[in-house]
């Protein structure tokens, strides 16, 4: 049996965990974290597979949330955003910050489930490809005749 996909949601709305776990599917575990240091510690301990940032100015200034997203660039984790901003310029800015996808509030659980699974699979394949390339580079070179 495959292990569950572990999703960390960085949000001031701690009450998101139960409803999302109930609707995203049994193979997706949700953890909501409002504290930036705790979220980064979870990521550093490799206890998450996908990160979702809730862009909500009532929770934290947008700049701080974008800084958190920027910190995720150094990881191989897919980062997504939940936002109530539907401007095209915002979507483009998020892409520039390394976000792989975004959801409009309130997010559709079926859409989220599909996108989370797709992003997780893409990240897994990228890691496997990097590992294969590394192994290939470590092979002894055969001299050409």
Look at residue 8 and give its three-state secondary structure. strand
**CA 67, CA 70: separation in Å to the nearest integer?**
5
Instruction: Give me the residue spans of the domains in the chain.
Output: 5-138
Cα–Cα dist 68/126, whole Å: 22
Res 2: pLDDT: 64
Percent of the chain whose predicted confidence (pLDDT) is above 70: 95
Q: What is the DSSP letter of 93?
A: H
Chain centroid to Cα 66, Å, comes to 14
Which tokens go with 84?
């109530």
pLDDT for 113 equals 92
Looking at residue 143, its pLDDT comes to 59
Higher pLDDT, 141 or 115: 115
Mean pLDDT for 42-53 is 91
Long-range contact pairs involving 97-105 (C-beta distance under 8 Å, separation at least 24) = 97/66, 97/69, 97/70, 97/73, 98/69, 98/70, 98/72, 98/73, 99/53, 99/69, 103/52
Instruction: Give the span between the Cα atoms of 105 and 108, in whole angstroms.
Output: 8
Mean pLDDT, residues 7-35: 86
Residue 32 forms beta bridges with which residues? 9
| Domain 5-138 classification at class level | alpha beta
What does the pLDDT read at residue 7?
Answer: 94
Section 94-99 average pLDDT: 80
Chain centre distance of CA 108: 17
**Global pTM exceeds 0.85:** no
% of the chain at pLDDT higher than 90: 24
Task: Scan for tokens 């979702």, then name that residue.
Answer: 52
């Amino acid at each position: 049996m495959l292990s569950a996909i572990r999703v960390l949601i960085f949000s001031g709305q701690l009450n998101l965990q139960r409803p999302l776990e109930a609707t995203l599917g049994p193979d997706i575990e949700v953890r909501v974290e409002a504290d930036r240091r705790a979220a980064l510690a979870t990521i550093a301990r490799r206890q998450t597979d996908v990160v979702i940032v809730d862009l909500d100015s009532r929770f934290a200034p947008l700049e701080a949330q974008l800084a958190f997203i920027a910190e995720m660039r150094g990881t191989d984790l897919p980062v997504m955003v939940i936002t109530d901003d539907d401007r095209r310029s915002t979507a483009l800015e998020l892409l520039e910050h390394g976000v792989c996808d975004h959801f409009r509030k309130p997010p559709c659980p079926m859409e989220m489930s599909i996108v989370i699974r797709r992003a997780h699979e893409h990240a897994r394949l990228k890691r496997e490809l990097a590992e294969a390339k590394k192994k290939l580079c470590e092979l002894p070179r055969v001299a050409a005749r």
